[in-house]
Chain A
Amino acid sequence: MNPFNKNVDELNQMASQVRRDILRMVHAVNSGHPGGSLGCTEFLVTLYFKVMDHNPKFDMDGVGEDLFFLSNGHISPVWYSVLARSGYFDVKELATFRKLNSRLQGHPATHEHLPGIRIASGSLGQGLSAALGAAQAKKLNNDDKLVYVLMGDGEIEEGQVWEAAMYAHHHKVDNLIATIDVNGQQIDGPTDAVMSLGNLRAKWEAFGWKVLETQGNNIDELLPTLEEAKSLTVQGQPIMILMHTEMGYGIDFMMGSHKWHGVAPNDAQLQQALLQAAETAGDY
């Protein structure tokens, strides 16, 4: 059971606050990755406030609860905001993002013992492997909870992802739900220009995965997809959700472009952006 169990309206309200957090965090240090963070806001809010059975009184081993791994660690702002808003740590700590002596490192780390983080990520392509390991540990422990992992679409250009894809099928890791943020953008430009990803559904199906597709910025569509994915677990097949999102979603001048992948808004841009994301749960 999710400790919040919010309805769709409440999830959308929370997403608005998380967007404000993301914008304010990256603006404050003039660095960080707002584009992918904004694009994955609905997804992380829906996981932590509706879908996952998780315990904000953080325990590293996470036995008896669902686990989430963020493989594309550069979208740490959205994860930090959602973790804080769901009670893993005080929202005031969001103000320390990327600053000296902070637990909120530029990319997520366990080294500073931030609750909610179970492995460092940022160097891309490693999260699916770690999630698979955690899923298999759950099986060894007779723990019937699930493991979730999010990757970026550019990230799957890394070869390790495909090593893991092959492994998950061979070992029938069916207590895992992976999601790819398909926003079609990476640092140097559109994925089609940088490194064509081809037919993602066909690729993952050829690797033996059950593939679902959804619109990641629409909770009315995203939530049923996540529920469907849960219903398909423990049937001998790993599950992949191809989640179509728009980078920078929710802020008009950031949407749909790779230009805001790793660039923070200036003072004027911040003010313009905050007008588009209502304060619903109190700014940190």
Chain B
Amino acid sequence: MKDFPYTESKDTRSGFGAGLLELGRTNPNVVGLCADLTGSLKMDAFQKEFPERFFQVGIAEANMIGLAAGMTIGGKIPFTGTFANFSTGRVYDQIRQSVAYSGKNVKICASHAGLTLGEDGATHQILEDLGMMKMLPHMTVINPCDFNQTKAATIAIAEHEGPVYLRFGRPVVPNFTPADQKFEIGKAVVLNEGKDVSIFATGHLVWKAILAGKLLAEQGIDAEIINIHTIKPLDEEAILKSVSKTRCVVSAEEHQFNGGLGDSIAQLLARKMPLPLEMVGVNDSFGESGTPDQLMEKYGLNENAIVEAVKTVMARK
């Protein structure tokens, strides 16, 4: 099992803020919109340096999505910022009609996704957002794993013509992705090569998958660990290549089973390579208040849950 050295832990939302600031300096068409969560989204540095390209919309997310769609007419590249819950479910119809169906170049950037939002509880802990967004035709869906990858993804999506949903979160997590690693939309990142099982993880579960890989290695299990940072378009080639070697799969994500990464992989396997799959995620449940670590433990979204899933799926080979 490879080692993944890192010097500090940081939040992925700060990676977004850093990426947006850099875009502000390099791409004059990039504009930012925020619905009264500028500090939480880490958009304040962009706001301070580019006040004429930053639009405070107040607590009015539906209007924000419409504004962003309109700003693309004239060549702007709008980045909207609010919590994942208010970025998706609250404005699904606005995204569907004004952005996705209209083919607008809007980047919907969503923080505080999933259980790791913590104490605020289930009203804010959306676990359905990847599913809603991936169902929309033409929507690209990205869920990076750490600060560096979120920063790189933020920069990369500005170069991509078309609507994008970029999901990140609040907790600090080990920042292990090399700062110079190019972000390629739709291209899986093989973190560790192995022969016994394929673990496909996304977002905050990528680091948990690495921890699980170490625990598995101690037990003599050689896990292949792949970071699926792009949920859509799914890197089918990388997934099938790995599974054809390991013959069994575990998916891991901070999301409902329905609509998430595991769901996408299950569809792929059923169509192309029917082999056993176990899913680590939330099974048709809302979250609740608690610390992020407590919630990830209670809802089975940590390294121990991945290890258990690996043992279960290997027994099904």
Contact = CB atoms under 8 A, between A and B. Distances in A.
A122 interface: yes
Contacts of B73: 60-62, 67, 118-119, 130, 133-134, 137
Contacts of A130: 66-67, 69-70, 73, 98
Contacts of B93: 123
Nearest to B69: A130
Chain B binding surface SS class: helix
A136 B72 CA distance: 10
Interface stretch (B18-26, B56-64, B147-155, B156-164): B56-64
A63 B74 contact: yes
Given A130-B67, A163-B60, A138 B102 contact: no
Interface string B32-58: 000000000000000000001101011
A43 B96 CA distance: 29
B55 A171 contact: yes
A87 B140 CA distance: 35
Interface string A160-192: 100110110011000000000000000000000
Contacts of A121: 97
A140 interface: yes
B74 A137 contact: yes
Interface residues of B, number: 32
Contacts of A164: 60, 63, 66-67
B275 interface: no
B134 interface: no
A131 B98 CA distance: 11
A225 B58 CA distance: 32
Contact of A134 (B55, B62, B70): B70
Nearest to B98: A126
Nearest to B57: A167
Interface residues of A, number: 40
Given A123-B93, A133-B67, A141 B75 contact: yes
B74 A167 contact: no
B63 A167 contact: yes
Contact of B98 (A119, A136, A138, A141): A119
A138 B72 CA distance: 10
Contacts of A134: 70-71, 73-74
A61 B94 contact: no
A76 interface: no
7 contacts: A69-B70, A110-B102, A126-B97, A129-B62, A130-B73, A137-B75, A167-B58
Given A129-B94, A134-B71, 11 more contacts: A62-B73, A119-B73, A120-B97, A120-B102, A129-B70, A134-B70, A137-B72, A137-B73, A140-B31, A163-B62, A166-B58
